[in-house]
Structure 1
């Protein structure tokens, strides 16, 4: 028996549909479809349309705009994981001859390459890709708008270059690689570069009158990796489940986690950021990761609530309108979290125990500052300040050489090493050159710079 029901409660489903219907009415949207994912499966779908008793199904295709970038990023990171490139590599090393050759792969993924936001010439979203047949057509001769790596500046041509990079290293068109390596393994049978029936038509709604104008449906050619894809609520729900829970056939768990870490420069108290192909939002103390999307006639939003364990998708066939599908997707997550908060996982003891690791647990001190070292499953360790015993700590993953590597916070990537006496007993911990001892500033032989011989004393 599980603590969380497979399906949502009737009151939750009613609240979700009410919110979707409100957004469709207030945003004057021809049609709107949404989906909610929990524990890897779709638990709710809803839709509203402008025609009575005729709403889109989760199998109707919509253009998803820049949500396409999440697919492009996964393809690039697969290349990195296979050792075919490094994120620090300049683009020129693998794709010579572009005006952005000195930008690194990581900078292109995180929109920190300083490139122009759009292509030169006519607006690429409303014109055929045949107007930009070559990579040289994607950027002008002076493509930089900002110094490399200094700030976040969204660049659609940057993702077109990443798609060309995938083509060069795979030796096949970007769309073919996407289908073979991502869409087919995940069963995303209704996601495609060009529309397949049934699909929605795209419309602009007049800002001051309830009338509509059809928008053009274009093939953007080389700009496809920036925003070309068509998909359905059902397929994007599966994609959200992948971004949340993963599939090792497509991408390692560590790489998925890397995607949602902030990669672009951000303020200390940031509310919005960008990782490697994923937008990041802070909302009500939690983190949402995913992406928004728009193309003429279409808008889309996909968010995963990290804390809530819930994802949501919303698709609309209108160029503009408020509230947006992206805001709706975030609202759907919040509604589920409010009505059906996730149950904490039950506490369970460790499956096995290494006595030498148990001996490491308990208080340690960096100078006079106290920490608690906790033993977690699979030989992992967690270091928590004594001043905040219930708060989050720094996690460390065990390595094959008997050391641990920091996973988050100040110690991310740093090495934790146990220094032992001749009899094997732990003397102190070396954490990136910081020495942690069992007592404040002791033993003196382990503390860099030594300790005053007189020891602790009253004033």
Structure 2
């Protein structure tokens, strides 16, 4: 695979297109990486001075795009026969999750079990009848909403909130985007396999794909490391583009949004989806799971215009489907997507959280993936 790198200056061809796209986004730091037919092009830019560690070698918080990793893990565990998409999450959690106390398990068994019929498939496809976040999440998070809202809500509380929740709609009948549901999925997989989430994801997804630059926690200075040692985690910023934001710890919501990765790892991840049979290492068992997460599962919206796979948003193009997912944390944003018909993947990250009505980042990255032929 060949690689072309640019840094803040326009060039011809793909490099020039990436430079123009980066200039359309107002952010302290931005990296746009494209893989097209086996050739990678990476552009680094932004308003802030270049950091000590080059931008394309730093790890970025990808927020909700982490859910694609959770869905791929689920597909792989189903392929191996350890789980079924139709397994009821509450059964896995009540039977095996260490965070669920016996008294809580007994209380939930005695209640109306119809409220706990959400399956693993419902959770990953946002059809489990759950809100975006648990109701009791907000009181503890509001005072640190813009900096660190998740740290104080551990896995035990996520599981307990799910087991006592009464959905307003029967699972499978309504679509509602839910960080709560994706997080419950992760804890159900951990409970069913008896393996902590981080270890489970590392063993079945990160390791087989060779994603050595991907982590689930903010970096902490090593023992004896100087305070001014270069950061390998990118520093995010508030909407003003100036105020730095500490690295985000996701607490019990790791499966929904904790992945932080280098642009190179994100391209490797997307390239595996483009060519599952050639995913590193060659012949990995993940090939079947990578094919599975590309299959359409549901349609929603007016005229059923929105199509979803197990993990990806899917949009049509004249040549074939386009797959993508975006994410945002308190100080960063990310877009990842791929198009099998053009053998193109785009991974874009920036170090500023921009409010929806002012955001050009997602639209710019999406347009780039859509327009490359």
Matched, 1:17 2:19: yes
Contact residue 126 and residue 175 of structure 2 kept, 8 A? yes
Q: What's the TM-score, normalizing by structure 2?
A: 0.78
Q: CA deviation at 1:53?
A: 5.6
Q: How does 1:366-385 map to 2 (within 5 A)?
A: none
Per-residue CA deviation, residues 263-282 of structure 1 (Å, 9 max, x unaligned), is 23435854433211222223
Of 81, 84, 107 in structure 2, the residue corresponding to residue 83 of structure 1 is 81
Q: CA deviation at 1:302?
A: 0.4
Q: Select which of 43, 46, 49 maps to 1:49.
A: 46
CA displacement at 1:195 relative to structure 2: 2.7
Asked if the contact 2:155–2:187 (Cα under 8 Å) also holds between the matched residues in 1, the reply is no
Of 106, 119, 128, the residue aligned with 1:104 is 119
Instruction: Give the direction of change, closer, same or farther, for the CA distance of 1:136–1:323 in structure 2 (3 Å limit).
Output: closer
Q: Distance in 1 between matches of 2:318 and 2:44?
A: 26
Q: Evaluate the alpha carbon distance shift between residue 296 and residue 214 of structure 1 in structure 2; reply closer, same or farther with a 3 A threshold.
A: same
Counterpart check, 1:331 vs 2:367: yes
Q: Over residues 357-384 of structure 1, what are the superposed CA-to-partner deviations in whole Å (9 max), with x where a residue is unaligned?
A: xxxxxxxxxxxxxxxxxxxxxxxxxxxx
Deviation at 1:327, TM superposition (A): 2.5
Measured after TM superposition, the shift of residue 149 of structure 1 is 1.0
Number of residue-to-residue matches in the alignment: 323
1:413 matched residue in structure 2: none
Q: 1:205: which partner in 2?
A: 239
| Residues 299 and 318, structure 1, Cα contact 8 Å, conserved in 2 | yes
Q: Which of 311, 321, 330 is the aligned partner of 2:345?
A: 311
Asked if structure 2 preserves the Cα contact closer than 8 Å seen for 1:118 and 1:157, the reply is yes
Equivalence map 1:277-356=2 (5 Å) = 277-283=311-317, 286-320=320-354, 322-337=358-373
CA deviation after TM superposition for structure 1 residue 318, in Å: 1.2
Aligned position for 1:70: 68
> In the alignment, is the contact (CA less than 8 A) between 1:58 and 1:234 conserved in 2?
yes
Contact 1:151 1:264 in 2 (8 A): no
Q: What's the secondary structure of 1:252's corresponding residue?
A: helix
Q: Distance in 2 between matches of 1:133 and 1:93?
A: 17
**Which of structures 1 and 2 has the bigger CA Rg?**
1
* Structure 2 Cα separation of the partners of residues 282 and 318 of structure 1: 29
Where do 5+ consecutive residues of structure 2 fail to align? 5-10, 95-104, 220-230
Is the helix fraction higher in 1 or 2?
A: 2
Q: Unmatched 5+ residue regions in structure 1? A: 338-459
Q: Which of residues 169, 174, 178 is equivalent to 2:197?
A: 174
Contact 1:151–1:265, Cα closer than 8 Å, also in 2: no
CA contact (8 A) 1:35 1:233 kept: yes
SS in 2 for 1:18: helix
Output the aligned Cα RMSD.
Answer: 2.8
Aligned twin of 1:236: 266
Change (3 A) 1:168 1:42: farther
Q: Alpha carbons of 1:83 and 1:140: their partners in 2 closer, same or farther (altered >3 Å)?
A: closer
Offset of 1:237 from its aligned partner?
A: 0.5
Structure-2 change in CA distance of 1:220 and 1:143 (3 Å)? farther
